[in-house]
Amino acid sequence: MKFIHLSDLHLGKRVNEYSMLEDQQYILKEIIRIVEDEQPQGVLIAGDVYDKSVPTAEAVALLDDFLVQLSRRGLQVYLISGNHDSPERMAFGGRLMEQSGIHIAPVYNGTAAVYTLVDEYGPVHIYLLPFVKPAHVRRYFPDQEIASYTDAVTTAIQAMEVDWRERNILVTHQFVTGATRCDSEEVSVGGTDQVDVSAFDPFDYVALGHLHGPQTVGRETVRYCGTPLKYSFSEAGHHKSVTVVELGEKGNVAVRTVPLTPLRDLVELRGSYEQLTLRDFYQGTRYPQDYVHITLTDEEDIPDGMAKLRIIYPHLMKLDYDNCRTRAEHSIEMEEDQEKKSPLELLDQFYALQNGQPMGEEQRTFAQKLMESIWEGER
């Protein structure tokens, strides 16, 4: 039995104030194409379907069209809410959608929804556990000691009474200890949201959502499929893909990936303004169409650098500098004689820390005259 594993669509997301809706619409069509090629029996969507708990109308319409396309192809779709989603909004209309093969996890109430498909090897049970915190689970199991996320998930799974003799899949949205995060993900203080991988022992395959980088944790069959698109420049080196899971007889699970090519990539470029604006540098590349983060190494700032670079790189999202000034220490340590220094000496010290070099004589003279003019006006 074959499944497509997706997660973290983050529909409606904006990256550096750029709307990703067009890119998301494109990549969902690519996923539909892969579905047609692979002919799976089901699609597992492991949470963070939307980027916000109250999604935009455009994001809702995009998900609606995607689910309709999957349903028309006779697929069974299993969808849970993530930490970015509102479980109540996600679950609305879920019972009506069942007849179309769209199975949405209800708000967690102490039990997990379970569905069963059958092939020549027997049943495959698909359990849906949306994102939960210890407080969510504790209210339904007041006699259990639930102090951590591991306790919460373990308790929720124990309540499922999973039959280890049969094939079982879990779709859930948590941070599993040992996995690697990205800058675009929410991080809890001190890693308090971590779940030990041993909690998932009853399952032949665990379809995880929450982390944006595709990876396995603990064993090959506990897997984050990652986002279908890059949502921060910390993901620039990622190779986005769709995960395909095939279950044979009990104990036989094959996992592979199918690469995704976006409408626009996220790339990081570095060099001087002159280098990056040479036709020989960008001609023949996708850089002018991609979302770009540029780091200029020029010692002097380029006037209107963002506007000038956008002539060549119209989707330039971010512009930084890496030079003596930016590498200098940006904090001033209080010295014992700090209060005895003149305003000009303090300005000179601040300028050196900001720019990696002291003020020139002409700058110092100008600053002195400006200070005197201001003080004269205050008398």
Residue 127, phi then psi, degrees to nearest 5: -100, 135
CATH topology of domain 266-326: Double Stranded RNA Binding Domain (3.30.160)
Average pLDDT on 138-149 reads 92
Distances (CA, A) of 242 to 30, 71, 205, 245: 10, 18, 15, 10
Which residues pair with residue 215 across a beta bridge? 224
User: What percentage of the chain exceeds 90 in pLDDT?
Assistant: 72
Contact 297, 324 (CB under 8 A): no
DSSP code for 186: -
Contact 5, 223 (CB under 8 A): yes
**pLDDT tens by residue, 191-207:** 568 899 999 999 999 99
Per-domain boundaries in the chain = 2-259, 266-326, 335-378
Residue 7, phi then psi, degrees to nearest 5: -165, 170
Residue 98, phi then psi, degrees to nearest 5: -50, -40
Contact 247, 1 (CB under 8 A): yes
Who's near 12: CB < 8 A, 6+ residues apart? 20, 21, 50, 51, 52, 55, 56, 58, 59, 62
Q: Distance between CA atoms of 52 and 289, rounded to whole angstroms?
A: 27
| Residue of 375 and 292 predicted with greater confidence | 292
**pLDDT for the residue numbered 189:** 40
Residue 234 identity (one-letter amino acid): S
Instruction: Give the pLDDT band (50/70/90) at residue 190.
Output: very low
Q: Is 215 helix (H, G, I), strand (E, B) or coil?
A: strand
Contact 20, 13 (CB under 8 A): yes
Q: Distance between CA atoms of 158 and 141, rounded to whole angstroms?
A: 11
CATH dotted code for 2-259: 3.60.21.10
Flag whether pLDDT at 255 surpasses 60: yes
**pLDDT tens by residue, 71-91:** 999 999 999 999 999 989 988
How many CB atoms within 10 Å of residue 329? 10
Contact 16, 1 (CB under 8 A): no
The strand order across the sheet containing 253-259 reads: 102-104, 76-80, 42-46, 2-6, 241-247, 253-259
As given in the structure block, the two tokens for residue 227 are: 């986002």
